[in-house]
Amino acid sequence: MKDTTAIGRVSVIGLGAMGSALARAFLAAEYSVTVWNRTAWKCAALAQSGAEIASSVEDALDSSRVAVGCVLDYAASVSLLHSPETSARLSQKTLVQLTTTLPKEAREEAAWAERHGIAYLDGAIQGYPQNMGTPKGVVLYAGPTAVFEATKLLLRCLGPNALFVGPDAGQASALASCLTASFTAGSVLAFLQGAAICEAEGISIDTYLSTVLTHMMPGMVADTLQTCVRMIKSGSYVGSQATLDTWASSLRGKVSYAREIGVDSHQLETTLGYLERALSAGHGQDELPAVFECFRKNATGAEGD
């Protein structure tokens, strides 16, 4: 859909793998794009695709009403954007921060932006550079609703899933932590541990993957996640499918089995450790979602307790 909100040009600060993908997606959607990167030669490919190269961050900010930042980390972003010269140039403009931030950093940046009259959105990209500008492009945003509304057509060029989390600038980053660190990295490591068992047992890794994708994720995994949400909301972990005692008994066996066949069992032991804690707290006859009680803020026995 053509942007009728008059954001004709966008500046992209940072042309690493992700910044370059963002700039390409904006160009593909027929925006005019100005780019800047610390290492100048990385701009050449974008120039060939039609982007204008700015010779300084200041020039890049001068050329557009919306700037998108995507550099290595928050410290690098601060070093580029918080000088008096750059802050002044951003005043009365919009900054969309797609550099990965921690929630605390996003909130700091929002406060800094407010002091300088900058409309600010913190974004958290949930995908790889190859996903940008495709239906798999997912980016979470947090900040003032009006700023999101004013920029959403532009942001949808990165993928149709420009998901607004809420006005608290730290919440996109916080949800991203749940999605990528807690869920994606945790599940992928669990998958890899299983892959090592398949290798040791001579089971095809393709069979493993297709069973996970076709049957487990839409079946047992999705069902259990939905049960987690229902039980957490109700505050009761009583169910009729499988008790924590049953799960723990099975997992103890699987830890011994992994050790016997010489496959690393630490990941399973860690999982079992959480189950044992929930058992010690009296949840043996509850279902698996009861383990949530071990993770909660200020939970008894939690790290740092």
CB nearer ligand FVH, residue 38 or residue 254: 38
Is there binding between residue 125 and ligand FVH (CB under 6 A)?
Answer: yes
Instruction: Find out whether 98 and 153 touch, Cβ atoms under 8 Å.
Output: no
Confirm or reject binding of residue 73 to ligand FVH (CB under 6 A).
Answer: yes
Task: Cite the beta strand spans of the chain per DSSP E.
Answer: 9-13, 32-36, 52-53, 66-69, 94-97, 119-125, 138-142, 161-166
Angle of CA points 267, 300, 224, to nearest 5°: 50
Question: Using CB under 6 A, which of the segments 81-89, 123-131, 181-189, 228-236 binds ligand FVH?
Answer: 123-131
Find the part of the chain contacting ligand FVH (CB under 6 A) among 15-23, 228-236, 272-280, 286-294. 15-23
Among 9, 38, 93, 252, binds ligand FVH (CB under 6 A): 38
Smallest distance from ligand FVH to CB 218, Å: 25
Does position 134 interact with ligand FVH (CB under 6 A)? The reply is no
Q: Which of 99, 151, 171, 271 binds ligand FVH (CB under 6 A)?
A: 99
Q: Is 128 in the site for ligand FVH (CB under 6 A)?
A: yes
Residue 78 binds to ligand FVH (criterion: CB under 6 A): no
Minimum distance, C-beta of residue 17 to ligand FVH, in the bound complex (Å): 4
Instruction: Pick one of 70, 248, 263, 268: the residue that binds ligand FVH (CB under 6 A).
Output: 70
What binding mask, one character per residue, do residues 166-195 give for ligand FVH by CB under 6 A, x or -?
A: ------------------------------
- Residue 286: its H or E element: none
Residue nearest to ligand FVH (CB): 16
Q: Least separation, in Å, of the C-beta of 130 and ligand FVH?
A: 9
| Angstrom distance (rounded) from CA 14 to CA 27 | 15
Residue type, 29: A
**Residue 219 to residues 54, 134, 186, 225, 229: CA-CA distances in angstroms?**
51, 27, 19, 10, 16
Could you give phi then psi for residue 170, rounded to 5 degrees?
A: -80, -10
Q: Please report whether residue 16 would count as binding ligand FVH according to CB under 6 A.
A: yes
Q: Any contact of residue 158 with ligand FVH (CB under 6 A)? A: no
Instruction: Please give the structure tokens belonging to residue 10.
Output: 């966008």
Q: How many CB atoms lie within 10 A of CB 10?
A: 29
| Helix, coil or strand: residue 139 | strand
- 123, β-bridge pairs: 141
Instruction: Choose which of 80, 140, 142, 288 interacts with ligand FVH (CB under 6 A).
Output: 80
The answer to the question of residue 39 lying near ligand FVH (CB under 6 A) is yes
Write out the E strands in 81-223: 94-97, 119-125, 138-142, 161-166
Binding site for ligand FVH (CB under 6 A): 14-19, 37-39, 42, 70-73, 76, 79-80, 99-100, 125, 128-129
